[in-house]
A and B are shown apart, each in its own frame.
Chain A
Amino acid sequence: GAVVSQHPSRVICKSGTSVKIECRSLDFQATTMFWYRQFPKQSLMLMATSNEGSKATYEQGVEKDKFLINHASLTLSTLTVTSAHPEDSSFYICSARPGGHRAGELFFGEGSRLTVL
């Protein structure tokens, strides 16, 4: 099946620093990728839709200046948490949808756990 890879899987940073998380589709091209945030024991909350070659579409209540998304190629999207604070600590998951016959199914990365001290 399709593979989506996230890096890093875990990151610990100091408050006020910025952290970049990468999401790659390894065996298909993804014009659209999605970034989710998951708090402990809770469901996934969609943060934004990353569109290749254009600006990301953010969900209501998500700060676009804090969570910078770049989708520079058909296989790579990055999420940068700027000036991170302890409340940004969470599990971030990306997903991508290949086109063609597999349209409708999302493939997920392994997730990235961010801990801000």
Chain B
Amino acid sequence: AQSVTQLDSQVPVFEEAPVELRCNYSSSVSVYLFWYVQYPNQGLQLLLKYLSGSTLVKGINGFVAYFNKSQTSFHLRKPTVHISDTAEYFCAVSDGTRGSRLTFGEGTQLTVNP
């Protein structure tokens, strides 16, 4: 079984400040890891994903994530946030098998204030 824990339910930051959204996972097998963003009343949009290879994953909108296998973490970071980054962010894990489903964390509401 897999599980995902997002350590912060809400993260308020000021515009142009750096931000880190934390995600820890547990799994007995190798995993694929994802970060999705959800704007109000919309579906989810993929920010980035880790399938294999480099532990530094670059995504859209200037976001990056670090896969740390020893700490079972996949934290999301952005060096400079903007008002438009205000949204709900979900970390998710999959065991990667064909047809496997995603297990989502509880979400982190990022609010960027002027």
The yes or no answer to B102 lying at the interface (CB within 8 A) is yes
Nearest B residue to A105 via CB reads B49
Assess whether B101 is in contact with A111, with CB atoms less than 8 Å apart: no
In whole angstroms, what is the CA distance A110 to B43 when docked?
4
Q: How large is the interface on A (under 10, 10 to 19, 20 to 34, 35 or more residues)?
A: 20 to 34
Contact of B106 among A6, A43, A107 (CB under 8 A): A43
**Chain A residues within 8 Å of B49, by CB:** 104-105
Q: How many A-B residue pairs have CB under 8 A?
A: 54
* Contact (Cβ within 8 A) B104 A44: yes
Min C-beta distance of A37 to chain B, whole Å? 12
Known contacts A42-B106, A43-B90, A105-B49; is-contact A110 B42 (Cβ 8 Å): yes
Interface membership of A74, Cβ < 8 A: no
- With both chains docked as a complex, state the minimum distance between the C-beta of B24 and any C-beta of chain A, in angstroms: 15
Interface flag for A25 (CB, 8 Å): no
| A78 CB–B CB distance under 8 Å | no
Interface status of B46 (Cβ within 8 A of chain A): yes
Determine the distance from Cα of A67 to Cα of B26 in the docked complex, in whole angstroms: 30
Task: Give A residues with C-beta under 8 Å from B.
Answer: 1, 4, 6, 31-32, 34, 41-44, 46, 49, 91, 93, 95, 97, 99, 103-111, 113
